């Protein structure tokens, strides 16, 4: 006997004709929930740069700890990888303008299981993005109140409060947060450019000892300042930390007007800005600050170290408080961008039953994935909690950085592999933005940038897991727990649908 409700009857009919591997992959179309399309190029750029550009405020110190005088070279080398990755995401996002990023690409290119693995790795990087960005706001604001930098307890509580505040803002809706992101990103780009311009002027000015070409050469190539080959490679691996916000733009494509046009524009604009800023800031920093100081005294707030090194008191009086406010603002954007990205990713994974359906729920009034926002904000807060009890803040900071790179690079590798696989398996798909520089193999055009990106990303990821114990054990533990939970969840879902099918019969 047919059930009374027509939608349920249609669903049961569909179940009868599904193949075993197709069961429970996505929800009925009538029940699909959509996010609002309200974003343009400026909003996408501000969210992306807020995530990528913010990392210079702490990545510079982490990289200097290992790469020492070769810090600018490590950042530029990692920047080339960033360009390849941004181009890969541009092609993938215009093909599939939906929340999910690399998880979405992998699902279309391979299957649901590979898509989950990519998404779960990306969830890790987003969680750490939220935590590390909020964690670094405190030392910069320590210029105004010293305990924020010197007291782990006070600084950590402040960071937890930031995450809670942004959680409430994001539940209200993306449009409200996008306005703040645009204004802060414009201010950040302006002040970073000013720091670079002033630094170069001082660098070329005779008589200025702190900023000079000879000082730059000494800090880069002087005795004991140049790293070993192993440390240089490790430094490049850690420098990837500075470019791991590119995924955020892809995550916001489902809320973007005309994503096929606006996503590539935002990506390209972000690429040029980031490469100029990061190379310039690192050169200016090493012209004024010795590598050992950059990696110790100024490890958590390296850009503040540049302002402190300015030779004239009036310059320091202007730029020290300005950098403190600016860094706190852009790091706030990065925290928010991570929260926006992870909530949209969880929404997408919930849509395709890679996560429990609760993550697919949208607020009836604000149309935001509020459950995902609240849950993952709580996880990010848990990562910050050790700061309340452990005195070695630098160790906590470096561990978060390594874990951030673990998840991000793994997700990037899935993205590159997916774009290559889609060129082979589904060449007929429309590609509004298609990567150039292809090689033809057996009638298929394979993008050179994606191939290089895949090889280099995997190589750098391997360096991280070999050298850094914390990232290796926690990262693989996260992936193992996720895969186990995924298999159990899918097994239970399959049993439910088999019961529905048997009842129907």
Lowest-confidence segment of 177-186, 248-257, 302-311, 436-445 by average pLDDT: 177-186
Dihedral pair phi/psi, residue 222, rounded to 5°: -65, 170
Instruction: Tell whether the model's pLDDT for residue 23 goes beyond 60.
Output: no
pLDDT of residue 165: 92
The domains located in the chain, with CATH, are 36-490 (1.20.1740.10)
> What's the helix, strand, coil split of the chain in %, to 5?
80, 0, 20
Lowest-confidence segment of 1-5, 426-430, 483-487 by average pLDDT: 1-5
Instruction: Tell whether the model's pLDDT for residue 18 goes beyond 60.
Output: no
Instruction: Tell whether the model's pLDDT for residue 34 goes beyond 60.
Output: no
Calculate the average pLDDT of the chain: 80
Continuous segment of H or E residues that includes residue 474:
helix 469-504
pLDDT of residue 31: 43
Sequential DSSP letters for 289-321: S-HHHHTTTTSS-HHHHHHHT-SSHHHHHHHHH
pLDDT band at residue 491 using 50, 70 and 90 as cut-offs: confident
pLDDT of residue 50: 65
194-246 residue pLDDT tens: 888 888 888 877 766 667 788 888 889 888 889 988 888 888 888 877 776 67
286 closest CA partner among 218, 205, 208, 197: 218
pLDDT of residue 370: 84
What the block records as the tokens of 455 is: 């090889």
What the block records as the tokens of 317 is: 């009086």
Dihedral pair phi/psi, residue 162, rounded to 5°: -65, -45
Lowest-confidence segment of 69-78, 134-143, 177-186 by average pLDDT: 177-186
| Separation between Cα atoms, residue 244 and residue 494, nearest integer Å | 36
Instruction: Tell whether the model's pLDDT for residue 16 goes beyond 50.
Output: no
For residues 477-498, give the mean pLDDT: 84
pLDDT of residue 9: 46
Instruction: Tell whether the model's pLDDT for residue 7 goes beyond 70.
Output: no
Q: Which residue has the higher pLDDT, 233 or 50?
A: 233
pLDDT band at residue 388 using 50, 70 and 90 as cut-offs: confident
SS3 state at 24: coil
| Separation between Cα atoms, residue 102 and residue 115, nearest integer Å | 8
Instruction: Tell whether the model's pLDDT for residue 315 goes beyond 60.
Output: yes
Instruction: Tell whether the model's pLDDT for residue 489 goes beyond 50.
Output: yes
Lowest-confidence segment of 34-38, 63-67, 294-298, 471-475 by average pLDDT: 34-38
61-101 residue pLDDT tens: 888 888 899 999 998 888 888 888 888 988 988 888 876 77
444 CB neighbour count, 10 Å cutoff: 13
pTM exceeding the 0.95 threshold for the entire prediction: no
pLDDT band at residue 21 using 50, 70 and 90 as cut-offs: very low
Q: Which residue has the higher pLDDT, 253 or 310?
A: 310
Strand residue runs (E) in 348-407? none
What SS3 string covers 187-211? Answer: HHHHHHHHHHHHHHHHHCCCCCCCC
Dihedral pair phi/psi, residue 441, rounded to 5°: -130, 120
Lowest-confidence segment of 162-166, 191-195, 394-398, 488-492 by average pLDDT: 394-398
Judge contact between 58 and 396, C-beta under 8 A. no
Distance in Å from the first CA to the final CA of the chain: 9
339-377 residue pLDDT tens: 877 877 787 788 778 888 777 777 777 777 888 888 889
pLDDT of residue 361: 78
Q: Which residue has the higher pLDDT, 159 or 255?
A: 159
């Amino acid at each position: 006997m047919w059930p009374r409700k027509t939608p349920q009857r249609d669903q049961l009919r569909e179940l009868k004709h599904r193949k075993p591997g197709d069961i429970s992959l996505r929800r009925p179309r009538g029940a699909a929930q959509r996010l609002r399309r309200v974003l343009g190029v400026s909003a996408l750029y501000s969210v992306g740069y807020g995530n990528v550009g913010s990392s210079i405020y702490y990545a510079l110190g982490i990289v200097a700890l290992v790469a020492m005088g070769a810090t600018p070279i490590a950042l530029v080398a990692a920047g080339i990888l960033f360009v390849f990755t941004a181009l890969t995401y541009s092609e993938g996002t215009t093909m599939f303008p939906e929340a999910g990023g690399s998880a979405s690409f992998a699902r279309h290119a391979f299957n649901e299981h590979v898509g989950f693995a990519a998404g779960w790795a990306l969830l890790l990087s987003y969680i750490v993005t939220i935590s590390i960005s909020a964690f670094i706001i405190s030392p910069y604001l320590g210029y105004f109140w010293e305990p924020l930098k010197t007291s782990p307890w006070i600084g950590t509580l402040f960071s937890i409060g930031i995450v809670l505040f942004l959680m409430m803002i994001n539940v209200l809706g993306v449009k409200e947060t996008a306005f703040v992101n645009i204004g802060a990103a414009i201010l950040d780009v302006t002040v970073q450019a000013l720091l670079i311009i002033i630094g170069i002027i001082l660098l070329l000015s005779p008589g200025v000892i702190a900023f000079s070409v000879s000082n730059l050469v000494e800090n880069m190539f002087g005795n004991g300042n140049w790293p070993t080959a192993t440390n240089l490679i490790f430094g490049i691996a850690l420098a990837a930390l500075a470019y791991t916000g590119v995924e955020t733009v892809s995550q916001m494509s489902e809320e973007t007007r005309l994503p096929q046009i606006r996503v590539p524009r935002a990506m390209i604009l972000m690429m040029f800005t980031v490469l100029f800023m990061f190379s310039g800031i690192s050169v200016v920093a090493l012209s004024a600050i010795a590598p050992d100081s950059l990696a110790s005294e100024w490890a958590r707030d390296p850009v503040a170290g540049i302002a402190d090194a300015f030779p004239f008191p009036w310059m320091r009086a202007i730029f020290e408080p300005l950098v403190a406010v600016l860094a706190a603002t852009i790091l706030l954007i990065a925290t928010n961008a991570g929260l926006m990205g992870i909530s949209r990713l969880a929404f997408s994974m919930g849509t395709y039953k890679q996560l429990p359906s609760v993550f697919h729920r949208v607020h009836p009034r604000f149309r935001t994935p509020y459950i995902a926002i609240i849950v993952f904000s709580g996880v990010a807060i848990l990562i910050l909690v050790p700061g309340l009890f452990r005195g070695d803040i630098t160790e906590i900071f470096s561990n978060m950085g390594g874990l951030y790179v673990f998840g991000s690079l793994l997700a990037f590798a899935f993205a590159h592999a997916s774009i290559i696989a889609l060129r082979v398996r589904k060449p007929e798909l429309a590609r509004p933005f298609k990567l150039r520089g292809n090689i033809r193999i057996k009638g298929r055009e394979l993008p050179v940038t994606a191939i290089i990106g895949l090889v280099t990303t995997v190589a750098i990821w391997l360096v991280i897991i070999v050298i850094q114990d914390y990232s290796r054990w926690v990262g693989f533990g996260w992936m193992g727990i996720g895969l186990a939970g995924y298999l159990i969840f899918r097994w239970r879902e399959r049993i439910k649908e088999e019961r529905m099918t048997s009842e129907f019969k």
